[in-house]
């Protein structure tokens, strides 16, 4: 919703799920030359490709897999899954433009590459403000602050239990939580699962760690909702701690429920914060993206499950109360 709203503004370019597409390789320590940077942007992700081949596509993955150049069994370049299709109806042509440009760039730190890439996009689409928006980006706020000390941050968050419930139904977030659950099963630290301990996992986990995906296999793994609540809390606590060091001019806290309740006021505040006007035509358009019913879903859960989930989310809610 937020990516579509921002890209609808004539002055704003939103790179939707850009860092999420690159995942852990997005933040190399050593400088890269242009060819290496292009490889970082364009290399396929085996896990994501395996999901797509098995029909596990999230709403954010809008690349035309059936008709695009990189469909079927061929690996899809990382930025083609979500970022480029959100900007152009012809993501393959846009990819070709980037491929002709980036490999010749000089050897330099990764942050300088990203700045020039964002400037290239802004010039290409005639926009003057660039916003990168990735789900779960609270997990790497510390890296973003270090790489872009001049950046301004929008922290968008929602009710913890509703968010955890939504995560539990999302293929991508289920894959993010699976290692935590697996580590707990074998008695390893969270996110500390080792290859030599994977054999102790139930068969349904081993299948997924081999990238043997199907919707039935991924959605059929029994992951208690409180696991998603704990993951949400960890992410919120980590992100809030990092964002706390930013002054008021460098951080805007935006509660999802408030945006749904009063979209015109909140989108106006967001536009002002990022330095663009909120004209009536844009506000009419983006207000139409709102789905007020997407609030309170966790309240419909069985009471015992709901209480367990709320307990798991409590540390994150406490951290948010300090904002």
Within the chain, what is the greatest distance between any pair of CA atoms? 59
Rounded distance, CA 154 to CA 253, Å? 6
> On the CB side of 178, how many CA atoms lie within 13 Å of its CA?
25
**Which range, of 50-54, 102-106, 125-129, 131-135, averages the lowest pLDDT?**
50-54
Domain boundaries, the chain: 9-135, 153-323
pLDDT of 137 strictly over 90: yes
Contact call for residues 144 and 137 (beta carbons, < 8 A)? yes
Centre a 10 Å sphere on the Cβ of residue 272 and count the other Cβ atoms it contains. Answer: 12
Kindly indicate the confidence band of residue 86, based on its pLDDT and cuts at 50, 70 and 90.
very high
**pTM for the whole thing?**
0.90
- Residue-wise pLDDT for 89-117, tens only, equals 999 999 999 999 999 999 999 999 999 99
Higher pLDDT, 208 or 63: 63
User: What integer pLDDT is reported at residue 110 of this predicted model?
Assistant: 97
User: What integer pLDDT is reported at residue 300 of this predicted model?
Assistant: 94
pLDDT of 42 strictly over 60: yes
Average pLDDT (171-186) is 85
- What lies within 8 Å, CB to CB, of 59 at 6+ separation is none
Give the pair of three-digit tokens for residue 100: 């002709």
Centre a 10 Å sphere on the Cβ of residue 55 and count the other Cβ atoms it contains. Answer: 11
Average pLDDT (39-45) is 95
Contact call for residues 140 and 19 (beta carbons, < 8 A)? yes
DSSP state of 105: S
User: What integer pLDDT is reported at residue 258 of this predicted model?
Assistant: 96
Contact call for residues 32 and 68 (beta carbons, < 8 A)? no
DSSP letters spanning 215-275 = HHHHHHS---HHHHHHHHHHHHHHHHHHHTTS-GGGEEEEEHHHHHH-HHHHHHHHHHHHT
User: What integer pLDDT is reported at residue 189 of this predicted model?
Assistant: 64
User: What integer pLDDT is reported at residue 79 of this predicted model?
Assistant: 95
pLDDT of 196 strictly over 60: no
User: What integer pLDDT is reported at residue 164 of this predicted model?
Assistant: 97
pLDDT of 127 strictly over 80: yes
Question: In the chain, pLDDT over 90 holds for what percent of residues?
Answer: 71
Average pLDDT (40-49) is 92
DSSP state of 155: E
As beta bridge partners, residue 254 has 156
Kindly indicate the confidence band of residue 227, based on its pLDDT and cuts at 50, 70 and 90.
very high
**Which range, of 160-164, 208-212, 216-220, averages the lowest pLDDT?**
208-212
The average confidence (pLDDT) of the chain is 91
What CA–CA distances, in Å, run from 209 to 61, 149, 159, 212?
21, 37, 31, 7
Rounded distance, CA 37 to CA 309, Å? 41
> On the CB side of 232, how many CA atoms lie within 13 Å of its CA?
28
Rounded distance, CA 239 to CA 236, Å? 5
Contact call for residues 260 and 290 (beta carbons, < 8 A)? yes
Rounded distance, CA 253 to CA 156, Å? 6
Average pLDDT (78-83) is 94
**Which range, of 14-28, 169-183, 265-279, averages the lowest pLDDT?**
169-183
User: What integer pLDDT is reported at residue 256 of this predicted model?
Assistant: 96
Contact call for residues 77 and 44 (beta carbons, < 8 A)? yes
pLDDT of 220 strictly over 80: yes
Kindly indicate the confidence band of residue 188, based on its pLDDT and cuts at 50, 70 and 90.
low
**Which range, of 53-57, 96-100, 145-149, averages the lowest pLDDT?**
53-57
Higher pLDDT, 182 or 102: 102
* Of the ranges 50-64, 132-146, 206-220, the best mean pLDDT one: 132-146
Rounded distance, CA 134 to CA 153, Å? 12
């Amino acid at each position: 919703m937020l990516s579509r709203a921002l890209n609808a503004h004539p002055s704003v370019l939103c790179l939707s799920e850009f860092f999420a597409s690159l995942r852990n390789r997005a933040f190399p320590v050593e400088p890269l030359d242009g060819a290496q940077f292009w490889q970082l942007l364009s290399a396929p992700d085996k896990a994501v490709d395996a999901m797509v081949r098995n029909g596990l596509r999230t709403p954010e993955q809008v690349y035309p897999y059936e008709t695009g150049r990189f469909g079927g069994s061929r690996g899809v370049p990382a930025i083609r899954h979500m970022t480029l299709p959100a900007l152009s109806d012809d993501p393959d042509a846009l990819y070709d433009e980037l491929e002709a440009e980036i490999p010749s760039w000089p050897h330099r730190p990764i942050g300088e590459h990203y700045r020039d890439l964002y400037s290239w996009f802004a010039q290409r689409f005639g926009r003057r403000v660039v916003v990168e928006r990735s789900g779960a980006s609270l997990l790497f706020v510390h890296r973003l602050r270090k790489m872009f000390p001049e950046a301004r941050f929008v922290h968008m968050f929602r009710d913890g239990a509703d968010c955890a419930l939504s995560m539990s139904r999302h293929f991508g977030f289920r894959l993010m939580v699976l290692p935590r659950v697996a580590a707990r099963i074998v008695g390893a630290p969270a996110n500390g699962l080792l290859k030599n301990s994977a054999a102790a996992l139930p068969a349904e986990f081993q299948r997924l760690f081999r990238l043997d995906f199907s919707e039935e296999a991924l959605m059929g793994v029994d992951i208690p909702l409180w696991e998603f609540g704990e993951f949400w809390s960890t992410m919120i606590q980590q992100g809030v701690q990092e964002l706390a060091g930013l002054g008021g001019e460098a951080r805007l806290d935006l509660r999802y429920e408030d945006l749904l309740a009063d979209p015109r006021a909140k989108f106006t505040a967001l536009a002002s914060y990022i330095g663009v006007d909120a004209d009536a035509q844009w506000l009419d358009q983006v207000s139409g993206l709102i789905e007020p019913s997407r609030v309170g879903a966790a309240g419909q859960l069985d009471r015992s499950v709901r209480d367990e989930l709320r307990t798991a989310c409590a540390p994150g809610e406490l951290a948010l109360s300090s904002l």
